[in-house]
Amino acid sequence: MRADVGLLTAELHRLSERVGREARFMEVCGTHTVSMFRHGLRSLLPPNVVLISGPGCPVCVTAQRHIDAAIALSRVSSVILATYGDMIRVPGRLGSLEASRALGADVRAVNSTLTALKLARDNPLREVVFVAVGFETTAPATAAALKRALQEGVRNFSVLAAHKLVVPAMLALLASGDDRLDGFLCPGHVSVIIGAEAYRPVVERHHRPCVVAGFEPEGMLAGLVALLRQTSEGTARLENVYPQVVSDRGNRAALELLDEVFTVADEPWRELGVIAKSGLKLRPAYERFDALARFGVELGEDEDHPACRCGEVIQGRIHPKDCKVFGTACTPLSPLGPCMVSSEGTCSAWYKYGRTAVGRAAVGGAAL
Amino acid sequence: MSTQATEYPAPPAARPERATPGRDDIVVLAHGGGGEMMGRLISERILTRLGNPVLDDLTDGAILPCPTSKMVFTTDSFVVKPLEFPGGDIGRLAVCGTVNDLAVMGGLPLGLSLGLILEEGLELAQLDRILVSIKQAAQEAGVRVVTGDTKVIERGAGTGLLVNTAGVAALDPRIHVGFSRITPGDAVLVNGTLGDHGMAVMSVRNGLEFQTRISSDAAPLNGLIGVLPDAGIDLKFLRDATRGGLAGVLADVAERAGHSIEIEERRLPVRSNVEAAAEMLGFDVLNIANEGKAVFVVAERQAAAALEVMRRHRYGREAAIIGRVTDATPPLVELLTEAGGRRVVQRPYGEDLPRIC
């Protein structure tokens, strides 16, 4: 065991005894969820420290209507649909992009918006539509690509805008009042953009500790130690245990770029419904890049699979294994809901890393 | 046969811009018509590179001497995009993949078949490069292409070149591998770094370009496997860790042998650039394909000797003892992480998709 991990784990166990009850922390971000599993950290946690995976997997929170719209756009014959890879298998009402591709649509996995813009430049006779999903981590890249497309006069590029904001989702979760959460482990990479101070409303309005942490084992454990220490003291403060990377105010240039291209708008979330001021829509100067308007595709309604409980999973209300179809009708091979598709999805992470662990104490650790 | 008519235009090929090649530079349907064009393709391009007394006869099949009473027989098809990638190409992949399937069964390769399905429009210069690569890989593995077949399909019906190779081998009487021979306490080894092939291909695939110098590990392993019994090592189990990666092989072992396997993250050989690329794309190195790596199970008392012998071989320099077989139940594959935690390693369930951020 690495020295720091040993010290931090010992401190967690000491604090958990002092707390003397179950402490429930939400890791907001899917990358935290996966990192926790991959490094085997859950096996090191005291049994009364419970981690709940929140609405921070960008694929999982994308509303079905946006997936359906992406599929409809992929069926336009001139369109090359460019998307982050893990969107490809997510089922909508019209099937999935994977099925659409198998039937002849030109769907390409890209790892950046700028690659999508390059596709547009390289294929002047085609229309490139980029599926712009994700939080403040990916939104500035979309903004940068759109700004460049405007400057360069690229006419065959557009986006399906479905970016979401982290903090409004956390506030919406708390506003419902039945969360039983003792605090939030806040994602390092989103915080690089928005700054640690962005979580201030969560702390002040709802009196829950927020700790910004990185993704290395030591960083995540340090975040949990800080959360548990606040729980033991009965305080709710904003802490940043990732100060070498995350500043209080965030990345000013990225935020200005976001503000130049987008404006805050109400946004539909998968199974959470429309959350006020939780998304980004294009400003008038950039409306020409709106793929929905360009191709006359309407956003429909969400009509999720009746057995799928992804919505409750991403709000931390139920554990994946409480869902009747988890691991049976819903598996990574044939996912019913988005939490099973994305490698960062809570259900996928539990299926991959946690499913068989239930039977063996050594693997155990905290389960919800 | 016709290409499927759809309302979607075919995606533009990811090839550099250049002057349109003439009819003499590319594969045309006539190359598969059984006439003069096909004869010239075979004699001028294939036999000049892969020719040997058995193949040169151009008979309907090869007659080979059989030195042992038991044989190993395998077949494998290869579809890869792009056809050429850092560290290899579809030709090297085909030879190595088939030789390795034979070798991990304890086979001493005797001959390979080579089925080439050429797509109309394939540049002959590229075909030539791939044939040279096949020749080199076969020479390295000490095996000959003894029979073959060529077909041409219409443009749009394939990915340029599809290859099927079958192989026959004599069973090495010194090698007896099987799930049933694995027992708790045995050591688990790999012969080198993990994930190189999968990340090399991913790094050049259209849309996932990033600056990198990751090379495929495609290599024939029959030589490496052969030196182990030479040194008195009793190989209990062998499996090449191709699609599904190390995780796929170990999950099979746990399930079929009925014993748990414990591997240690800090002992896994992984190149730093492969690790970084995998991390960036959200892949687990344990799930990524290899084309020159195998899992070796030997008795614990022979582990150190096996490691020493492997490390002396060209394709085992970075070999490592990565874990052991245990009697923990239920039978699972567990990873002791570098951070000091434990987690279960599962069989990957399909193609891993690059993640969003």
Do residues B330 and B242 share a domain? yes
Do residues B119 and B149 share a domain? yes
Q: List the single residue in A with minimal CA-CA distance to B4.
A: A104
Residue B325 lies in a domain: yes
Tell me the chain B residues in contact with residue A137 when contact means C-beta distances shorter than 8 Å.
Answer: 357
Residue B4 lies in a domain: no
Do residues B39 and B134 share a domain? yes
Amino acid at A216: E
User: Which pLDDT score is estimated for B355?
Assistant: 58
Domain coordinates of chain A in residue numbers? 1-305, 310-353
Residue B357 lies in a domain: no
CB-CB: which of A88, A189, A363 is closest to B342? A363
Q: Can you tell me the distance from the alpha carbon of A143 to that of A263, in angstroms, rounded to the nearest whole number?
A: 11
* Record: contact B356-A84, CB cut-off 8 A: yes
Whether ipTM > 0.85 holds is no
Contacts of A118 (CB under 8 A, 6+ apart): none
Tell me the chain A residues in contact with residue B4 when contact means C-beta distances shorter than 8 Å.
Answer: 104
User: Which pLDDT score is estimated for B55?
Assistant: 93
Do residues B217 and B91 share a domain? no
Q: List the single residue in A with minimal CA-CA distance to B13.
A: A123
CATH code at B321? 3.90.650.10
Q: What is residue B332's DSSP assignment?
A: -
Query: Which has more pLDDT, A122 or A30?
Result: A122
CB-CB: which of B206, B336, B355 is closest to A86? B355
Q: B19-65, pLDDT tens digit by residue?
A: 556 667 999 988 988 888 899 999 999 999 999 999 998 889 999 98
Q: List the single residue in B with minimal CA-CA distance to A56.
A: B357
Do residues B214 and B167 share a domain? no
CATH code at B140? 3.30.1330.10
pLDDT at B100 over 60: yes
Paired with A132 in beta bridges are A161
Do residues B104 and B231 share a domain? no
Q: Which of B122, B137, B171 is the last residue of a domain?
A: B171
Confidence label for B317 from pLDDT (cuts 50, 70 and 90): very high
Confidence label for A57 from pLDDT (cuts 50, 70 and 90): confident
Q: Are B220 and B140 in contact (CB under 8 A)?
A: yes
Domains in chain B: how many in total? 2
* Record: contact B353-A88, CB cut-off 8 A: yes
Do residues B216 and B299 share a domain? yes
DSSP string, A285-350: GGGGGBHHHHHTPPP------TT--HHHHHTTSS-GGGSTTBTTTB-SSS-SSGGGTSTT-HHHHI
pLDDT at B5 over 60: no
User: Which pLDDT score is estimated for A359?
Assistant: 36
Q: Which domain holds residue B321?
A: 179-345
Q: Which of B153, B171, B189 is the last residue of a domain?
A: B171
User: Which pLDDT score is estimated for B7?
Assistant: 44
CATH number of A1-305: 3.40.50.11740
Q: Are B107 and B43 in contact (CB under 8 A)?
A: no
Report pTM: 0.82
Tell me the CA distances in angstroms from B97 to A216, A318, B137, one per residue in order.
37, 46, 11
Residue in A9, A55, A3 with CA at minimum distance from that of residue A30 = A55
Q: Are B184 and B253 in contact (CB under 8 A)?
A: no
Q: Can you tell me the distance from the alpha carbon of B198 to that of A225, in angstroms, rounded to the nearest whole number?
A: 38
Distance in Å, alpha carbon of A177 to nearest chain B alpha carbon: 30
Average pLDDT, chain A: 90
Backbone angles phi, psi at B16, to 5 degrees: -65, 150
CA B316-B141-B138 angle, to 5 degrees, is 135
Confidence label for B350 from pLDDT (cuts 50, 70 and 90): low
Q: Which of B112, B142, B171 is the last residue of a domain?
A: B171
pLDDT at A165 over 50: yes
Residue B350 lies in a domain: no
Do residues B184 and B328 share a domain? yes
Residue B288 lies in a domain: yes
Do residues B126 and B196 share a domain? no
Do residues B205 and B160 share a domain? no
